[in-house]
Amino acid sequence: MSEAVRRAEYLEALGIDDWVLRSAHPCAATVPVAPEPGPVEPTGPVVSAPPQPAGEAGVPEAWEQLRAQVRACTACALHETRTQAVFGVGNRRAEWMVIGEAPGAEEDRRGEPFVGHAGQLLDAMLRAIGLSRETNVYIANILKSRPPGNRDPRPEEVAACLPYLHRQIALVRPKLLLAVGRIAAQTLLGTDAPLGRLRGRAHAFGEHNVPLVVTYHPAYLLRSPGEKRKAWEDLQFARNLFAQIRNPEPNDGHRS
Ligand code: URA
């Protein structure tokens, strides 16, 4: 099955034509072609990830210890208002990791990231590039506790919570990070650059230079459906970058 047909099937089966291609059938050649990813370059300052211990993704004790720490955490005031901490979900050995901002009301109630309306759109977006939380992606947030009224995270809350995400990244050891939304992108990259300037290129996260791609938050896309096309470009960019990471161009034999 060709890539185009596979993509069209995902788009159609999951209603993604509804989120990105309102005017044309997905098979039509109207899907914008994402630029070919260039080399991964650190865009400093980059938040350092902790050293990546080898092969810990399969160590249940490490995960259970971390999960217990997060559940019991009182490091910021959000523990007073949350229903429960929202840890993360997905394949702990995934090659892709998606990072969002913070749990919303539904996530706070159910204890799983991205299960509200934005989560449904995120699932559809991921499905369009062959990813799902059931099989091959791990999803986590910058904050593990819901900010009341879904306000932006405060710096002290991010500072208190970020080590947990760093530990999750170190355990999963993803090949590619997808930051959804301004807060996740700016936090992971240690920048206040606007999201529009962070899209469309490969960043590098942490001391292991994990490739990181930025796209819009699905909640923003629900409010601004006109931007869905750009999000689709970002996903294609990420998918192309991942393909390059998995299968680097063979050396042509010439020495420089
Ligand atoms: N928005 C996020 O950034 N994360 C969630 O888990 C839900 C909504």
Cβ of 123 less than 6 Å from ligand 1: no
> In angstroms, how far is CA 80 from the centroid of its own chain?
27
User: How confident is the model over 214-229, as a mean pLDDT?
Assistant: 98
From the alpha carbon of 218, which atom of ligand 1 is closest? 1
| Environment class of 156 (CB within 10 Å of its CB; exposed 0-12, middle 13-18, buried 19+) | exposed
89, 115, 137, 141: which to mutate for ligand 1, most atoms within 8 A of CB?
A: 141
Residue 38 confidence (pLDDT): 54
Residue 249 confidence (pLDDT): 81
User: How confident is the model over 91-105, as a mean pLDDT?
Assistant: 98
Residue 70 confidence (pLDDT): 98
pLDDT of 20 over the 60 cut:
no
With cut-offs at 50, 70 and 90, classify the pLDDT of residue 2. Answer: low
Lowest pLDDT segment from 31-45, 75-89, 180-194 = 31-45
Residue 7 confidence (pLDDT): 60
pLDDT of 29 over the 50 cut:
no
Q: Which residue has the higher pLDDT, 31 or 34?
A: 34
User: How confident is the model over 130-144, as a mean pLDDT?
Assistant: 98
Residue 8 confidence (pLDDT): 60
Q: Which of 167, 190, 163 is nearest to 179 (CA)?
A: 190
Supply the angle between the helices 155-172 and 60-72 in degrees, to the nearest 10. 170
Lowest pLDDT segment from 43-57, 89-103, 202-216 = 43-57
Residue 152 contacts residue 160 (beta carbons within 8 Å): no
Cβ of 102 less than 6 Å from ligand 1: yes
pLDDT of 43 over the 60 cut:
no
CATH topology of domain 36-53+61-246: Uracil-DNA Glycosylase, subunit E (3.40.470)
Residue 71 contacts residue 87 (beta carbons within 8 Å): yes
What pTM did the predictor assign? 0.83
Cβ of 101 less than 6 Å from ligand 1: yes
pLDDT of 185 over the 60 cut:
yes
CA atoms of 112 and 227, how far apart (whole Å):
26
User: How confident is the model over 87-103, as a mean pLDDT?
Assistant: 98
For the chain, the structural domain boundaries read: 1-31, 36-53+61-246
Angle at 118 between CA 47 and CA 81, to 5 degrees: 70
The mean pLDDT of the chain is 85
With cut-offs at 50, 70 and 90, classify the pLDDT of residue 57. Answer: low
Q: Which of 219, 141, 138, 121 is nearest to 176 (CA)?
A: 138
Residue 18 confidence (pLDDT): 57
From the alpha carbon of 139, which atom of ligand 1 is closest? 6
Residue 48 confidence (pLDDT): 36
